Structure 1
Amino acid sequence: MLLDVKDLRVSYGDFEAVHQVSFSVDQGELVSIIGANGAGKTTVLRALMGLTMPKEGHISFMGRDITFMPPHERARLGMRLVPERARVFPQLTVEENLRMGAYGMKKDRALAERIDWIYELFPVLKDRMTQLAVTLSGGEQQQLAIGRALVSDPKLLLVDEVSMGLMPKLVDRVFEVLKELNASEGMTILLVEQNALASLGISHRGYILQTGRIEISGAASELMADQRVREAYLGV
């Protein structure tokens, strides 16, 4: 098991945003956590990356307890986060942004090859490589944020609300890339999303998070057929 989370509780002051959440992700899986706005999805990812420390619970990554490990050490172990709303470095160029994702890489040649691979995944980034990130559209910035996280070849890619604010055509492309990364590269991905149809459509398994608690879990196909999920998240 690559990632194992047990009884995670996270609070902001007196408000408990995540209540005893437990889930796991195996090597090579693509797993979704589905929930409405305010369900606690982003808080879970922040706790996994060490950006918000839990009140209780345990987080294990590759067999190591990382519950209270600093974010940079988690990054060194191979965890990468694609934050919501495509947070890029606005005054750096596209290529400079990609190079900022190379934490832990030691060889310039490997970095150059990795960046070329990112440009193959997202050709628009190659066309914009010398432009400042602030000049990119929202969809282009989202692709840049994903590319930056992929540069170091992470063992676990955490993706937060990748579809937020994107045009449907770009949403389809981004999910297509995530599916391709998992299927052909074997990359392990934990995807947090409100877009249940798109995310479950590419996932192996899923968890439904409601008001800070995991209420339903199972194979993605089972969740898509579950009437409770269909009514609440699929609109059918």
Structure 2
Amino acid sequence: MPLLEVENLHIAYKEIEAVKGVSFHISEGELVSIVGANGAGKTSILNAIMGLVSPKEGKIKYKGNDITGTAAHERAKMGIRIVPEKARLFPQLTVWENLMTGIYGIKKQVPLQERLDWIYELFPILKEREKQAAVTLSGGEQQQVAIARALISDPDLLLVDEISMGLMPILVDRVFEVLQELNRKHGKTVLLVEQNALASLEISTRAYVLETGEITFSGTAEEVASDPRIHEAYLGG
């Protein structure tokens, strides 16, 4: 049974249909990418999975249960977390305080110090910046805080939205390395939506190509990366 199933998902903003009947699944332990141009509907899909927007039609199933009408905070308690586009931290809170917002309202007991030690091992710079306000951090450091905030509650499914946006190439490499490590070393299930198709396909198990709200191609990451049409459109071939 897949960890996540999306069936015939339609998302509309007034008269504009952003997502048009999208279906896909993710099994536990996979790192799956949805790649596509800006405006293709990638973020809308993630927001629907997290419960931040309501679909016009379709179903979202998590661990076999229909969660289409479930509130976002309830989905968070179920083990779904999102790393939003552009980090979206609380700017005046410290790094530590931002991390603590990641466990707010979680019912299960979180071994906090153990989780913090693991996060600081994963992101050593955050230990150094622990008492700094988020607004003083670089873009790459803020992205690391955003990932760490989502991870501190030990989620079963991590949704990652355009994590490379606005980052220098060296920082893009680092955040993708972290996602790959989370998946391969720690077994985290990750759904990644990205404009940076090359970087995302290099670390993914499988991928879906989204064009103007519809999935037009899917397969293993290698199959998607090697398809001439996809290569020309997204990989600069």
The TM tier, using the shorter chain, reads over 0.9
Note the C-alpha offset of 1:95.
0.5
Aligned residue for 1:101, secondary structure, equals: helix
* Cα gap change, 1:56 to 1:107, in 2 (>3 Å): closer
State the partner residue of 1:137: 138
Aligned position for 1:211: 212
* Matches of 1:105 and 1:140, distance apart in 2: 28
**Who is 1:178 aligned against?**
179
Partner of 1:222 in structure 2?
223
Contact 1:91 1:132 in 2 (8 A): yes
Please name the residue that 1:166 is paired with.
167
Alpha-carbon distance between aligned partners in 1 of 2:178 and 2:196, rounded to the nearest angstrom: 16
> What SS does the aligned partner of 1:157 have?
strand
Distance 2:94 2:108 in 1: 22
Q: Match of 1:192?
A: 193
Runs (4+) of structure 1 moved beyond 6 Å?
A: none
SS at match of 1:186: coil
1:36 aligned onto 2:37: yes
User: How many residues end up aligned between the 2 structures?
Assistant: 235
C-alpha change, 1:81 and 1:134, in structure 2 (3 Å) is same
Q: Secondary structure at the match of 1:99?
A: helix
Q: Distance in 2 between matches of 1:204 and 1:138?
A: 27
> What residue in structure 2 maps to residue 50 of structure 1?
51
1:57-206 matched pairs, under 5 angstroms: 57-103=58-104, 104=106, 106-107=108-109, 110-206=111-207
- Cα distance in 2 for partners of 1:89, 1:231 equals 39
Unpaired segments of 5 or more residues in structure 2? none
Q: CA deviation at 1:219?
A: 0.4
Code of the aligned partner of 1:22: S
* Partner Cα separation in structure 2 for residue 10 and residue 68 of structure 1: 14
Deviation at 1:105, TM superposition (A): 5.6
- Output the TM-score relative to the length of structure 2: 0.97
CA distance in 2 between counterparts of 1:17 and 1:86 reads 23
Name the CA distance, whole Å, in 2 between partners of 1:219 and 1:174: 22
Contact 2:77 2:107 in 1 (8 A): no
Instruction: Output the TM-score relative to the length of structure 1.
Output: 0.98
| Rounded Cα–Cα distance in structure 2 between residues aligned with 1:95 and 1:181 | 21
Map Cα deviations across residues 97-135 of structure 1 (whole Å, 9 max, x no partner).
111111426546x11110121111111111100000011
Instruction: Identify unmatched segments of 5+ residues in structure 1.
Output: none
Q: CA deviation at 1:184?
A: 1.0
C-alpha contact 2:206 2:220 (8 A) present in aligned 1: yes
One-letter amino acid of the structure 2 residue matched with residue 60 of structure 1: K
In structure 2, what is the Cα distance between the partners aligned to 1:211 and 1:19? 8
Amino acid aligned to 2:196: N
Identity of counterpart residues, as a percentage?
Answer: 65
Distance 1:191 1:234 in 2: 17
Q: Structure 1, residues 162-198: CA drift from partner, whole Å, max 9, x if none?
A: 0001111111111011001101111000000000110
What SS does the corresponding residue of 1:9 show, helix, strand or coil?
strand
Partner of 2:92: helix, strand, or coil?
A: coil
Q: Is the 8 A contact 1:105 1:152 kept in 2?
A: no
Q: Does 1:15 align with 2:16?
A: yes
Are the aligned partners of 2:95 and 2:134 in contact in 1 as well (CA < 8 Å)? yes
CA shift in 2, pair 1:50/1:107, >3 Å: closer
